[in-house]
Amino acid sequence: MENYLRLIIVILLTICALSRGLLVVGPKVIDSHQEYKLLVVNDDKSKSVATVQVLLEGIENDEIVVNHLPRNVNVPYAQMRSVKFMLPRNVSPSASIKLTVKGTGGFRFHEEIDLELRNTSIAGLVQLDKPVYKPGDRIKFRVIVLNAELKPPADLVLISVKVLDSLGNVIKSWRAVKLAVGVFEGQLQVAANPAFGIWSVTVRVGDEQIGSKTFEVKKHVVMPFDLQVGTSTVPLVKHAGLNLTINAKGHSDIPAKGMAKVKLYLNSGVLDQMQQFHVDGEIRKWFPFNGELEAAEIQQNVRVKVTFIEQHTNATLTKDTYITVYKYPYRAELVKVNSGLSFKYALQCKHHDGTPAKGIAGNVRIDHFSYEKPAITDAEGLIELELNVTAEEFDVHLSYDSNRSNPRESYE
């Protein structure tokens, strides 16, 4: 609706006459059977009250088709007065419509302005699903036809629509198509080898064009923004959900605004949920799982598909991301530690971001050596093992005691 209002403002060019401290403002383009409104402002300090006479008249083929009695208007200094005329029905666009404003009572002012009569009082707004297309893309558009009261015209049923390429060739046309509550929707596919450049959609009623919209067809489409999807915390199975972070930024790191559509897929690509919400540059949102995540392994991937539609251009970008969900809050591996002339074994414990897991208290058990001992990781996340290793393979069981988790892992 906002775009239509802008269209009306562009169409109704304003007349403006300023002379001897009197300002007269009104539309340059008028419609038959519509109210015509004129504003008169007195900015002359020497005149406490300026009196003007306003006359609207129209002539066609030497016959008077618009004839209103002159209106006398008294305008005090620094104030504004309005003058209204009701135009008759079925005035032909070929009629000559003239507005005359002249001063009376000693006030010297005279202006005559020719007005334009529109053929129709309807306007067509064309909406596209995006502003730029590439070869093979499908163009989807909608035509909305409204009258001067911003309602679907009751007496209009058929319109004609054409799509023209950058060379002026008609790519597709719809002749005498029906409107459904003032709306027509159409689509077509861009050829594999199109004419690149500015294309257009035009809307006509009979021989008169009531609306148009341009768009671009390019060989390669560069998105005006970038989309990043991640998590604000390390996701664990026990959380039963994801803290997602969605970041949409344009060039020069300017936040992009628009609508995000998010789909979450759990075990073997099963759709778990779908959400839609507004994003202003960045958003952090909790997504609790509807189903149960199977975690037979120490980690499991969750597929997150985010489609972002920029609000001003309708440019659309989709990111398919796999988020790893861990069974345990830490990971560990058996490593050899250089100790002088010999090597010792140690457990290297890390957080999932790769940083050492410091000060983690727990218990180490190695059944092969009847070894069991409480331990705590040092500043480098290490637990040195007092082992005299002769076996090529052995299991190490590591358990941590914490308020958050009690993971258990085995290593050979």
> What would the two tokens of residue 243 be?
């803290």
In this prediction, residue 387 has a pLDDT band, given cuts at 50, 70 and 90, of low
Q: What percent of the chain has pLDDT over 90?
A: 33
State whether 52 and 102 are in the same domain: yes
State whether 135 and 200 are in the same domain: yes
d(CA 200, CA 171): 10
The stretch 152-164 carries a mean pLDDT of 86
Q: What is the pLDDT of residue 181?
A: 87
Q: What percent of the chain has pLDDT over 70?
A: 84
State whether 97 and 36 are in the same domain: yes
Q: What is the pLDDT of residue 2?
A: 35
State whether 112 and 22 are in the same domain: yes
Judge whether 9 lies within some domain: no
Pairing between β-strand 132-133 and β-strand 208-217 as defined by DSSP bridges:
parallel
d(CA 356, CA 346): 14
Judge whether 1 lies within some domain: no
Tell me the per-residue pLDDT of 308-333, one tens digit each, with 9 for 90 and over. 998 877 888 888 898 989 988 888 88
The stretch 364-388 carries a mean pLDDT of 79
Judge whether 4 lies within some domain: no
Tell me the per-residue pLDDT of 52-104, one tens digit each, with 9 for 90 and over. 999 999 998 888 888 888 899 999 998 999 999 888 877 777 788 999 999 88
Judge whether 412 lies within some domain: no
d(CA 351, CA 329): 7
- Domain range spanning residue 263? 225-326
CATH number of 378's domain: 2.60.40.10
State whether 126 and 113 are in the same domain: no
What region, left, alpha or beta, does residue 296 occupy, with left being phi > 0 and alpha being psi -120 to 50 degrees? alpha
State whether 237 and 318 are in the same domain: yes
* Burial of 156 from C-beta contacts in 10 A (0-12 / 13-18 / 19+): middle
Q: What is the pLDDT of residue 392?
A: 53
- How many domains is the chain partitioned into structurally? 4
In this prediction, residue 14 has a pLDDT band, given cuts at 50, 70 and 90, of very low
Tell me the per-residue pLDDT of 259-309, one tens digit each, with 9 for 90 and over. 999 999 998 778 999 999 999 999 999 999 999 888 777 888 899 999 999
The average confidence (pLDDT) of the chain is 82
Q: What is the pLDDT of residue 290?
A: 93
97, 117, 137 - which closes a domain: 117
State whether 30 and 103 are in the same domain: yes
Is the whole-model pTM more than 0.85?
no
Judge whether 6 lies within some domain: no
